[in-house]
Structure 1
C-alpha cells in the first residue's frame, strides 16, 4: 500500500529546515522559499517557473547559505556559478541526465557592472522561465553545422549583490537579505550532516509531488486582489502548490504573496522615463494645465534626490526632455510633443497636462497625497500663463 504523505506537514518541515540555517527578513520569505522548493518538483505542471532571487546590498548577508539549503531540497540541483552556456544548454535539454534545478551564486558577476561577456548566460536565464521556450545554437564542426533548439525551461535560484535587470526581477520571488543582528541566531550548516538531512526531505517532496501532480496540473488558483500580470505569473505556481498541500498553507501563501508583491512594487523605481512622468505629475504640473519647457526644466533640475540635474554629467535639457516624452502617446494615440503656449511675454514651447494624463494612468505608481506633492517654484521669474 502506498504511503500517504501529508503535504502541509511536509511543507512545515521544509520551512523548519530553512529556519534552522537561514535568517530571512520576514515570515513571508520563509513561506515563499518553502513553496518554491516544492514547486521545483512539479515544474511540468506549470506554464512558467518563477526565479528565486536572494539579493542584498552588502556581503555577509546569508545569500549563499540560503542557496546551500535550497540545493539540498530541490531535484537534481546544479551549482552553476562557473558553468559555461554550452554546459547549461546540454544539462537543461537532458542530454546528460534529467533536467536540473540551476543555482547561480554571485549572480552580480553575470548581470552586474563587471559582468563582461556573459550574454549567452543572460539570455539563458531570461528565456528559461516559460515552458516550451528554446534557445537556438549552431552545432557541428566547421562548415558542417546545423541549427539546433535547446530547451531552456528550468527552475533557477540566484544570489548576489545589488539588483538584477527588470527582465529578471519581474519574473522573480525577491528575498532581500540582510546581515544578522546580534540577537538573530542560526545553526551552523555542516555539509557532511545537513546535506543528507535535506536530501531526505527532498526525496519525500518528490514522492508527494508525484501524488498531487494531476491535481496541480489542472489547477488555476485564486489570486489575491490586485495581483495581476507578471506578479500573477510568478505566484500562480506557488499558490497551486500551497492549495495542494492544504492546511494553513493556502492562507499563508496568499498572505506571503501580498506582502512580497507589495514590497516589490515599493522597491520598483521604474525606468528613467517613468521617473520623469511621475516627477512631472507629482512636482511640476500640479494644479496647472500647461507649462513652458523652460519652467518645466527649471523645476525638474531643482528637485532634490532626483537625477535631472546630473544625467551623465549634464542637466536635463529641452532636447532630451522632448525626446523622452515623445516615447509616450496621448489618449488619442499621438506622440506627446511640445506645443505653443501663450504667455505674458509671448509664445513659448511647452507641454500640456492633458497630453500626459494617459501615460500617467498607464505607467506611474498611484499619486502621492496632496500634502506631499507640492509643486516647486522655479528659480526664474514665474511665467504668467
Structure 2
C-alpha cells in the first residue's frame, strides 16, 4: 500500500469519537521473526480519554500550519510528539530529523508546532554541548530538546562537535550517561550526567550517519504553487495548542502502565535499529487505537524502506560493491586490471580520493580491515602477477552487500548497477510516493483516522 492508499484510507475511515471507536480492531502484521505474533495492545479508555480522537485532533492542528511531504511524515510527527509524553516507558527514544536540501521548506515551523505539543520543550539554536548536557541531566525535569539549524553544528563547514554528537547518540537509550571531570578543593572528581531525552533537530542536508540511523526522518520541501497552509499566529494558536497538549499528557498518563509492558507486533522487515526507532511509535498507535495502528505500521514500512534507499554507503563498502561487479564471473583479477576497471567509471570516487587516484597501496589499505589481502595469482597465460581472488571476498560480500543482480558483468555497468541497488529503489518509490498532505486551497486536510 503506497501513500495514496494511506490517504484514501485516512479519508474513508471515520474519526473515532468514543471508547468503542478507539478500540476498533485492525489486522496484526506478522513480526519480523519466526516467533508467534505478540498479542495486540488493547487501548485504554481510562478517565474516558479517547486516544485515537486526541491524535486525530493533534494531526488536524499540525496540518493547518505544516505542509507535510507525505502522509508518512505526518503520521510519524504526530506519533513522535505523543511518545515524548511517555518517556519513562521507553528503553530507547527515536530522534526526529527534519531535513531539507534548501531553506524555506518549513523545517522551523515543524519545530515551532512540536514545541507546543511536547512536555518541557527546550527550543535551541547553536547551543553548546555543555548547555544541553546540563539541561538533560536534570531527569526530574527532563526537557524535550528541539534543536534548530543543526547544519551549523554538523554541516560541511562545521568543525568538531563530537561532544554534542556523542550526547545525542548516547541519550537515545535510557540509562546512558556521559562522564565528566571537575576539580573541588584541589581534587579531581568525576560526575556522571544522564543523557536520556527526546531530541528533534532540523537543518539543511543530512546529519552524521550515527544520528540518522537513530532517527525518524522527515524530508521537507518547499511548497509549490497552490500548496497553501494557514499562517501561524502564536497569540491566536498557542491557546488551542495548550488544550491539545493537556489532553495528550492526560491520555499518556492514563496508558503509561500499558506502555511500559506493551509488545506490539512489528511489520516484516523492521528489526534491529528500525525496531528501536519505530517500536515506541507503534506502541503509541496501538494504545490509541482506531485507525492509528494500521497507519503507523504502514508509515513504519515506508519510512524504513525510504531510509534504506537513501542510505549512503561508506567508502569501503562502496569499494566492495564496485569490486564485486568488476570481478563479474572471474575467479581472480590482477591488481592492475582491478584498478583499471575501478577507474573506468568517471562518476565513482576512485579517481579522486583526497586529490589522488586509487592505487595498489590505497586499495590494500581499504580492504585490510575486512581481512582481504592481495597475493601472487597464476593467470591462464602462465603469468603470476599480484592480484586478488574471488574467494577472498565472498564472505565479506555476503555480510556487507545485498545479493548481486544476475546480469552485472562489466566494470562500468558494475558501479552503476551497484549504485542502482543502493539508490535505484528510489525510482520505484517515486512512482508510488505518497502525495503531500496538509493545507490546501480547499482548507485543512481530513483527519488520518
TM-score normalised by the chain length of structure 1: 0.91
Give 1:253's aligned residue.
296
What's the C-alpha RMSD, in Å, of the aligned pairs? 1.9
Point out where structure 1 has 5 or more consecutive residues left out of the alignment. 329-334, 379-385
- 1:291 matched to 2:327? The reply is no
Aligned twin of 2:196 = 153
User: Residue 37 of structure 1: which of 61, 70, 81 is its match?
Assistant: 81
Cα deviation for residue 363 of structure 1 reads 1.0
Q: Is the Cα–Cα contact under 8 Å of residues 110 and 122 in structure 1 kept in the other structure?
A: no
Aligned partner of 2:392 among 337, 347, 355:
355
SS at match of 1:90: helix
Question: What is the aligned partner in structure 2 of residue 63 from structure 1?
Answer: 107
Whether contact under 8 Å (1:31, 1:252) holds in the other structure is yes
Aligned partner of 1:83 in structure 2 is: 127
- The alignment partner of 1:326 has SS state of helix
Partner of 2:148: 105
- Residues in 1 aligned to 2:220 and 2:402: alpha-carbon distance in whole angstroms: 25
Distance in 2 (CA, whole Å) between partners of 1:232 and 1:91 is 28
Query: Displacement, 1:204?
Result: 0.7
Counterpart position of 1:72: 116
Distance 2:120 2:354 in 1: 45
Deviation sequence 1:279-307 (CA, Å, 0-9, x none): 112x3011111111111110111114211
In structure 2, the partner of 1:114 is 157
Shift of 1:117: 4.7
Q: CA deviation at 1:78?
A: 0.2
The one-character-per-residue Cα deviations of 1:344-380 (angstroms, maximum 9, x if unpaired) are 261011112221111111111343352xx341379xx
Q: 2:55 aligns with which of 11, 19, 24?
A: 11
The structure that is helix-richer by fraction is 2
2:411 to 366, 376, 382: 376
Paired residue for 2:173?
Answer: 130
**Deviation (angstroms), 1:189:** 1.1
Partner residue, 1:164: 207
Cα pair distance change 1:377/1:349, threshold 3 Å: farther
The residue number in structure 2 matching 1:319 is 361
Shift of 1:133: 0.4
The whole-number CA distance in structure 2 between the counterparts of 1:366 and 1:210 is 46
2:345 is matched with which residue?
303
C-alpha separation in 1, matches of 2:274 and 2:222: 27
d(CA) in 2 for partners of 1:73, 1:53: 17
C-alpha contact 2:214 2:273 (8 A) present in aligned 1: yes
Report the Cα distance in structure 1 between the residues aligned to 2:193 and 2:388, rounded to whole angstroms: 49
- Aligned-pair distance for 1:45? 0.5
CA separation of 1:140 and 1:267: change in aligned 2, threshold 3 A? same
What are the equivalent positions in structure 2 for 1:268-279 lying under 5 Å apart? 268-279=311-322
Residue equivalent to 1:365:
402
Determine whether 1:241 maps to 2:261: no
TM-score (norm 2): 0.79
* 1:144 to partner: Cα distance: 4.0
Q: Map residues 207-218 of structure 1 onto 2, 5 A cutoff.
A: 207-218=250-261
**How many equivalent pairs are there?**
368
Work out the CA distance in 2 between the residues paired with 1:368 and 1:15. Answer: 42
